[in-house]
Amino acid sequence: MTEAARAPRSHKYSVGDMTVTVVDDGFRKIPVADGYCLNATAADMNAALAAAGLEPGVLHNPFQPIVITTGGKNVLFDTGNGEPAFNESKGERGNLPGSLATAGLSREAIDIVVISHCHGDHVNGLVAADGKTAFPKAEIKVPSVEWKFWMDDGEMSRASAGRMTDLFKNNRRVFDALGRKVTPYDWDTEVVPGVTALGTPGHSIGHTSFMVQSGSHRVFMLSDVCINNPPLFVVHPGWRTINDQDPAQAEATRRRVLGMLAAEELKVQAFHFPWPGVGYIERNGDGFKFVPL
């Protein structure tokens, strides 16, 4: 089976009384090239991939939203790339509906959608192929810092050409399709009982991670703190990429969060780590390493 033909899939585990279901939205292959990292060359990146036993020349970037079932409600965290991406990529990404089905879920069964930050691979799945809401019964929750920034016309007028202007246009497209009917949420508050939103800015101005806790059981949802590839950005937390809105802040956040995770030996669930994205962070010289379960 080729990677492009990979079947939809899901993976379940428990956090105390909660059920966590990882749902595969597919993947993207990113060519390794100078300029992707602001302070590391393509040769540096390829050496890091080779040291991890991975194919040089390409970054494999998976997309893994999760559903937390708690208190009788299904809460989806991030939505993947969306149905149009499924067609455009010939099934490589945009697989969320099929993967939900493998877990016995549907988009109609989602009660709440929580967005970690407003990048396309996290919000595009909010809109179905017909241009209407993909989750007709769900309340949509968005970080208040993100919402204020991306919906501010002044900020949009000052955006640098390229990635930032594209992000503003895409966010207006997605949220205008929903009539901008969202519930902003603040950091250091529970988005649903047992799940606390934590500010981890840098990758995006309002980038958010989550602490999931039920009794004595905890898991940290890392979102995009470490971008997309552990051998690069966990092992080398100082490497900065063009995908970070504020690269210096993103590095500081990355070092802080990885240090906390290693010190507290917290289980981690990551959006862009190898399937199913769950494991632990350990110290590794001047950096860290991801130890999958």
Looking at residue 33, what is its pLDDT?
Answer: 97
Q: What is the pLDDT of residues 89-123, one digit of tens each?
A: 988 999 999 999 999 999 999 999 999 999 999 99
**CA distance linking residue 203 with residue 109, whole number of Å:** 30
* CATH for 45: 3.60.15.10
Task: For residues 62 and 29, give the distance between their C-alpha atoms in angstroms, rounded to a whole number.
Answer: 9
Domain span at residue 59 reads 3-292
What pLDDT does residue 10 have? 98
> pLDDT grade, residue 1 (50/70/90)?
very low
Tell me which long-range contacts 207-210 makes (C-beta under 8 A, separation of at least 24).
207/116, 207/117, 207/143, 207/146, 207/253, 208/116, 208/117, 208/143, 208/146, 209/116, 209/257, 210/77, 210/114, 210/116
Read off the pLDDT of residues 167-222 as tens digits, 9 standing for 90 and up.
999 999 999 999 999 999 999 999 999 999 999 999 999 999 999 999 999 999 99
The C-alpha angle with vertex 23 and arms to 54 and 68, in degrees rounded to 5, equals 125
User: What integer is the mean pLDDT of 145-151?
Assistant: 98
Rounded to the nearest integer, the mean pLDDT of the chain is 96
pLDDT of residue 5: 52
pTM given for the model: 0.96
Confidence band, pLDDT 50/70/90 cuts, at residue 73: very high
Measured distance CA(136)–CA(130) in Å, rounded? 13
- In Å, what is the CA distance from 289 to each residue of 55, 84, 229, 232? 18, 35, 11, 10
- Whole-angstrom Cα distance, residue 152 to residue 172? 10
pLDDT at 226 over 60: yes
Q: How many domains in the chain? A: 1
pLDDT at residue 43 greater than cutoff 60: yes
Q: Is the pLDDT at 39 greater than 90, yes or no?
A: yes
Q: How confident is the model at residue 72 (pLDDT cuts 50, 70, 90)?
A: very high
Q: What percent of the chain has pLDDT over 90?
A: 94
pLDDT at 51 over 90: yes
pLDDT for the residue numbered 115: 98
| Region of residue 20 (phi > 0: left; psi between -120 and 50: alpha; otherwise: beta) | beta
Nearest in space to 123 (alpha carbons), one of 84, 93, 80: 80
- pLDDT surpassing 80 at residue 47: yes
pLDDT at 87: 86
The pLDDT confidence band at residue 2, using thresholds 50, 70 and 90, is very low
pLDDT for the residue 190: 98
Dihedrals phi, psi of 104, to nearest 5 degrees: 75, 25
